[in-house]
C-alpha cells in the first residue's frame, strides 16, 4: 500500500516500485556501476592453487612441481597410468583412426541376390508401412 509522504511542501506516493524522487537513478545512470562480479573457472582456480608453494617443502617448490615429481617417480616404478598421463601431457594424445566401410549395396542388387523381384520388395515395403504402424498409410501406395 502506498502512503503519501510529505517532503517539504509537496507530497508524493512512495512505496514498492516507486522510490522517493531524491533516490531515483538519473537518466543514463546504472544501478550496478561495477557490473556483475567476475566468476572464476575451475581451471583458473586449479592453476592458482598449483602455483602456490607447497607447505613445509624445504625447497619451496609449488604444488605443481611436487605433483610432477611424484608422477614421474610413479611412472618410473612401473605405473602405466602415470606414464600414459605424462605422455599425453607432453606429447599430446594420439589420434584415433576410424575404419569406415563405404561399400553400399543397392536394394535392387540385394533383392536379386535373394531371388526377389523389385515388385516383391516394393509390395513388402508397402505392407510393412501400412500394417505395422511404422507410418501413416499413404493413399498413393
- Please state the domain count of the chain: 2
Q: Specify if 77 maps to a domain.
A: yes
Q: Is the dihedral of CA 82, 86, 89, 93 positive or negative?
A: negative
For residue 69, tell me if it sits in a domain.
yes
pLDDT level of residue 128 (50, 70, 90 thresholds): confident
- 87 and 121: one domain? no
In-domain check, residue 52 = yes
- Regarding whether 110 and 87 lie in a shared domain, the answer is no
Q: For 106, phi and psi rounded to 5 degrees?
A: -70, 145
Which grid cell is 118? Answer: 523389385
pTM greater than 0.85 (yes/no): no
Give the list of residues 6+ apart from residue 71 with CB closer than 8 angstroms, or none.
82, 85, 86
Higher pLDDT: 139 or 15? It is 15
Which structural domain, as residue segments, surrounds residue 117?
A: 106-141
pLDDT tens digit string along 67-112?
A: 999 999 999 999 999 999 999 999 988 888 888 877 777 888 888 8
Angle CA(32)–CA(38)–CA(41) in degrees, nearest 5? 160
**Partners of residue 53 on adjacent β-strands:** 62
Residues 111, 83: one domain? Answer: no
For 12-58, what is each residue's pLDDT tens digit?
788 888 888 888 888 888 878 888 888 889 999 999 999 999 999 99
Contact 25, 16 (CB under 8 A): no
Residue 20 in any domain: the answer is: no
Rounded to an integer, what distance in angstroms lies between the CA atom of residue 102 and that of residue 110?
16
Amino acid at each position: 500500500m502506498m502512503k503519501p509522504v510529505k517532503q517539504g511542501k509537496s507530497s508524493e506516493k512512495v512505496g514498492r516500485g516507486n522510490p522517493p524522487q531524491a533516490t531515483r537513478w538519473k537518466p543514463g545512470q546504472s544501478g550496478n556501476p561495477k557490473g556483475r562480479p567476475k566468476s572464476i573457472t575451475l581451471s583458473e582456480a586449479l592453476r592458482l592453487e598449483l602455483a602456490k608453494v607447497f607447505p613445509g617443502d624445504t625447497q619451496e617448490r609449488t604444488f605443481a612441481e611436487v605433483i610432477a615429481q611424484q608422477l614421474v617417480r610413479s611412472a618410473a616404478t612401473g605405473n602405466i597410468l602415470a606414464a600414459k598421463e605424462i605422455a599425453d601431457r607432453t606429447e599430446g594424445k594420439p589420434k584415433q583412426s576410424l575404419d569406415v566401410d563405404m561399400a553400399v549395396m543397392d536394394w535392387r542388387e540385394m533383392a536379386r541376390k535373394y531371388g526377389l523381384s523389385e515388385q516383391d520388395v516394393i509390395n513388402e515395403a508397402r505392407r510393412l508401412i501400412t500394417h505395422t504402424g511404422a507410418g501413416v498409410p499413404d493413399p498413393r501406395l
